[in-house]
Structure 1
Amino acid sequence: MSAPSGRLSRQAATFVAVGGAGWLLDVAVFNLLTATVLSSDVEGGPIVAKAISTTLAIIANWIGNRTFTFRETRRTDVVREAVEFVLVSLAGGAIAIGCLAVSHYVLGFTSRLADNIAANVVGLALGAAFRFVVYRSWVFSPRRASAEPVRSVVERAP
């Protein structure tokens, strides 16, 4: 396997693992909120619950992707990287929220199962594909001038 395809494979596998952990957090918080304070009986409850759960998952995923998935190309300008990561994540999250809104309000599928399928299966799958491509090509792109080079253990030693 060539180095670029090896890196892509490792990044994709790690992205899936980090995203899986974020997905579990997202689904758990979404279901906790919709089972309690933000049920379907509350005006906009499922949408607000999804916005909250998505926000928490974005934070966890940035830490995981910066630390593991894109560690070779993470940026030295952490604030700019975080802002770009959040923007891309919000766009990906909007895909999940859009799928939920269409399913819940347009198609009339209002059960908790339907909300979960729309938001946490279809929406998150489409959003994840979008995010991986944009994280890799923009946020953590090795072509970015402020990418932090990987240093060996010997180079890091004092």
Structure 2
Amino acid sequence: MRAFLSRHPRAAGLAAEVGRFGSVGALAYVVQIASTNLLWGVVGMGPLAGQVLGTLLSIAVAFTGNRFWTFRDRARTGYGRETLLFLAMNGVGMLIQLACQGFSVYVLGLDGPLAQNIAGNVVGVGLGTLFRFFSYRTWVFPRSRPPGTPSDGAAEGAGTHTP
């Protein structure tokens, strides 16, 4: 494997990014589960309020970890822009999860606890996570362009003809 990665530096970089992304996601998930249960059990907060607050804490952990560790070598386009896009992409990821669960329940008629967990928490979270990884690296934390690279992606000197 090391020989392959040494011959393919882009694959090595992607593998490292995927590993960091997964680590941040795992930590955010632990924060969400722990804080939600703490808010429910110790603080006595209601189920929905505890879920919302726990999820917001996990989103803050995910944003911080992804911005400053997973995608640390990416262009900085401003906290406001990055935060807004991060939240929007998380919303789309959540819709993907809900669509998987809705398809299982309302189209396939699989509404038992096991089916719901597989559809929502395995398939839905998996597809949502793939979308999040792609969208974070493409839109939220884009690569910076090397100096002199045209902004439209066209090659320098486009439109000129050299015999």
Give the TM-score band, short-chain normalised.
0.5 to 0.7
Shift of 1:55: 5.2
Shift of 1:62: 1.2
Q: C-alpha distance in 1, partners of 2:10/2:132?
A: 19
| Structure 1 letter corresponding to 2:137 | R
Which structure is larger by alpha-carbon Rg, 1 or 2? Answer: 2
What value does the CA root-mean-square deviation take over the aligned residues?
3.3
Q: Map residues 1-150 of structure 1 onto 2, 5 A cutoff.
A: 1=6, 3-25=9-31, 29=36, 56-73=57-74, 75-143=76-144
| Structure 1 letter corresponding to 2:20 | T
Relative contact order, CA 8 A, sep 6+: which one is greater?
1
Corresponding residue for 2:155? none
Q: Percentage identity across aligned positions?
A: 36
Name which of structure 1's ranges 135-144 and 94-103 shifts more when overlaid on structure 2. Answer: 135-144
Q: C-alpha distance in 1, partners of 2:108/2:57?
A: 28
Alpha-carbon displacement from aligned partner over 1:23-82 (angstroms, at most 9, x marks no partner): 44556759x98xxx76xxxxxx9xxx9888765543331122112101111525111111
Contact 2:32 2:55 in 1 (8 A): yes
Name which of structure 1's ranges 59-68 and 86-95 shifts more when overlaid on structure 2. Answer: 59-68
* TM-score for both structures, normalised by structure 1: 0.66
Shift of 1:106: 3.1
Corresponding residue for 2:159? none
Unaligned runs of at least 5 residues, structure 2: 1-5, 41-45, 147-163
* TM-score for both structures, normalised by structure 2: 0.64
Q: C-alpha distance in 2, partners of 1:102/1:144?
A: 41
Name which of structure 1's ranges 101-110 and 88-97 shifts more when overlaid on structure 2. Answer: 101-110
Seen in structure 2, the aligned counterparts of structure 1 residues 115 and 26 have a Cα distance that, compared at 3 Å, is farther
| Structure 2 letter corresponding to 1:9 | A
Q: C-alpha distance in 2, partners of 1:122/1:113?
A: 12
Q: C-alpha distance in 1, partners of 2:73/2:86?
A: 16
| Structure 1 letter corresponding to 2:17 | Q
Contact 2:66 2:72 in 1 (8 A): yes
